[in-house]
């Protein structure tokens, strides 16, 4: 089977771009190389590996889990079914954190770190920031630690519920980042994302804002004066989340940031 044959067969089952990504991974080459060498023969082993990957993709399994990695901002992160797959929308939160922090020596926490994409990238881009990361899932923390080691970044990890590990240690931070579960429980079972990604990272309770409420109640015990709080939210949750932030924190300022599709995405609050 040639590269052309493999891609032609794959197009009948999966998205052509996914086919290129999966075949490129099997062969260890980029898409441009695939396109430039359509007559290259696959070995029997490569043919089997591609067929297996294609079958998983056709069944709906995310490509990121098949590959075991996902691009986020300026690097690749290891991912497993224990963690939510990093989304491009979350890069908006990171960009705002980087802009606000500048070159200052600060202390930050990533609450519900998952793969560690936010915490590790912040630590890599701003090495003068002391970065902490919390997750309630031991399996997720294992993945996050691997990503931190992969990029030789210094991140202090805690297993626990939201900000409780920091509060218990009397740690105060200047920056709080959180991409918590925000899908309403009764909506979750209808979404394709629920088939493969961890429910723990998706289920936001009755209205999708349960964990955000709990986090906001803890913020005063963990935040320094003047701290910045950045929360990722779901589309359509902007006004409700903004109200919760103002009620719980009485911030100096609070605003809603839209994503590139014009949807509610980030709440930014300056304490």
pLDDT, tens only, 28-67: 999 999 999 999 999 999 999 999 999 999 999 999 999 9
Mean pLDDT across the stretch 204-226? 97
Residue 38 is predicted with a pLDDT of 94
pLDDT grade, residue 192 (50/70/90)? Answer: confident
Annotate 164-218 with DSSP letters as a single string.
Answer: HHHHHTT--EEEEEE----B-HHHHTTSGGGGTS-GGGTB--TTS-HHHHHHHHH
Separation between Cα atoms, residue 264 and residue 183, nearest integer Å: 14
Tell me the β-bridge partners of 133: 110, 157
Helix crossing, 138-150 with 117-125: angle to 10°? 30
pLDDT tens digits along 59-102:
999 999 999 999 999 999 999 999 999 999 999 999 999 999 99
The answer to whether the Cα torsion of 76, 196, 232, 129 is positive or negative is: negative
For residue 194, pLDDT over 90 is answered with no
The answer to whether the Cα torsion of 105, 107, 112, 115 is positive or negative is: positive
| Total-model pTM | 0.93
Report yes or no: 132 and 156 within 8 Å, Cβ to Cβ: yes
Residue 193 is predicted with a pLDDT of 87
Maximum CA pair distance of the chain? 64
């Amino acid at each position: 089977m040639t590269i052309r044959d493999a891609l032609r067969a794959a197009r009948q089952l999966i998205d052509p771009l996914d086919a290129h990504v999966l075949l490129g991974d099997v062969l260890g080459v980029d898409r441009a190389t695939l396109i430039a060498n359509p007559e290259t023969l696959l070995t029997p082993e490569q043919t089997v590996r591609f067929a297996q990957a294609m079958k998983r993709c056709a069944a709906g399994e995310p490509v990121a889990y098949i590959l075991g990695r996902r691009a986020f901002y300026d690097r690749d992160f290891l991912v497993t079914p224990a963690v939510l797959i990093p989304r491009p929308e979350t890069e908006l939160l990171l960009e705002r954190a980087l802009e606000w922090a500048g070159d200052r020596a600060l202390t930050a926490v990533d609450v519900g770190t998952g793969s560690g994409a936010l915490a590790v990238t912040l630590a890599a881009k701003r090495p003068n920031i002391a970065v902490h990361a919390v997750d309630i899932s031991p399996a997720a923390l294992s993945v996050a630690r691997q990503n931190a080691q992969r990029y030789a970044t210094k991140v202090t990890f805690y297993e626990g519920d939201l900000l409780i590990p920091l509060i218990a240690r009397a740690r105060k931070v200047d920056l709080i980042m959180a991409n918590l579960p925000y899908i309403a429980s009764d909506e979750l079972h209808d979404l394709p994302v629920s088939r493969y990604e961890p429910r723990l990272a998706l289920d936001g309770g009755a209205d999708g804002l349960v964990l955000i409420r709990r986090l906001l109640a803890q913020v005063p015990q963990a935040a320094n004066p003047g701290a910045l709080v950045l929360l990722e939210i779901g589309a359509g949750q902007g006004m409700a989340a903004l109200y919760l932030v103002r009620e719980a924190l009485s911030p100096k300022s609070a605003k809603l940031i839209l994503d590139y599709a014009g949807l509610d995405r980030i709440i930014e609050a300056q304490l």
